[in-house]
Structure 1
């Protein structure tokens, strides 16, 4: 079996686990010399279609308004990542929206964080990370 990694999608919402995930994804993109995109999921009423800021827009200073995406971009730019993008994608179901965007846009690896809930808390609250792992068409790295 051979795994091809051509580009990485990192899900972020600005939470503490997501901040650790951003650092991991930036380091992974550096080590593998791969393009890196950050995605945050928004209410479909606010954004009916994905909004993408590509490397050209980002390097020209046209940046997304989302705090989570801005913070992720700052980490990546400080680390010298040049092939970068930021995405606001709509979705009622976060995991489905992440996987659908990754699949539609030919991402080969998804990186995301998890709070590491177990037992009753996980059963009551569910886990977006676990849902992404179950739905994904490609490898998923969960950062805790």
Structure 2
């Protein structure tokens, strides 16, 4: 049964495709939908660096808010109720899987850019890291 869907987004084109897919999936199954972003830098940790600039941090926070708002608007246009959350964590994959497990999500939707195996080897992939952990079922768009 698919009752709770978590869609992890990061503002990329792949994430936008994941939003569309997750909205369609939630509509089809009548599932609860939540969009999630992971913030790897907290205001507290950023303020301890020599590169601290509150305007830069606030710009990042506005970008995250816009991504979540845009995702929720896609859902609203398809008559799907959706909530949004931002979770803090240095390990993005752990934050996604941990949140999904802690809150009882039975499905995760994520976007992937489709890098080659060599490209993933060089740059890593959050999707690959999520799939390497114990997790609920994951749809990669």
Normalising by structure 2, what TM-score?
0.82
- Name the structure 2 match of 1:54: none
Measured on the aligned residues, the alpha-carbon RMSD in Å equals 1.8
Q: Which runs of 5+ in 1 are unaligned?
A: 49-63
Aligned residues: 124
Higher mean C-alpha displacement, 39-48 vs 115-124? 39-48
* Residues 37-70 of structure 1 deviation map (CA, whole Å, 9 limit, x = unaligned): 000001352389xxxxxxxxxxxxxxx9612111
Q: Higher helix share goes to which structure?
A: 2
Equivalent position to 2:112, from 111, 114, 128: 114
Which aligned runs of 4 or more in structure 1 are off by greater than 4 angstroms? none
Do the aligned partners of 1:47 and 1:89 also contact (CA within 8 Å) in 2?
no
- Name the structure 1 match of 2:130: 132
Counterpart mapping for 1:38-57 below 5 A: 38-46=35-43
* 40 and 76 in structure 1: CA distance in 2 versus 1, 3 angstrom threshold: same
Q: Which runs of 5+ in 2 are unaligned?
A: 46-62
Counterpart mapping for 1:21-36 below 5 A: 21-36=18-33
* Residues 116-143 of structure 1 deviation map (CA, whole Å, 9 limit, x = unaligned): 1113211010110111112142100000
Counterpart mapping for 1:1-144 below 5 A: 4-46=1-43, 66-82=65-81, 84-143=82-141
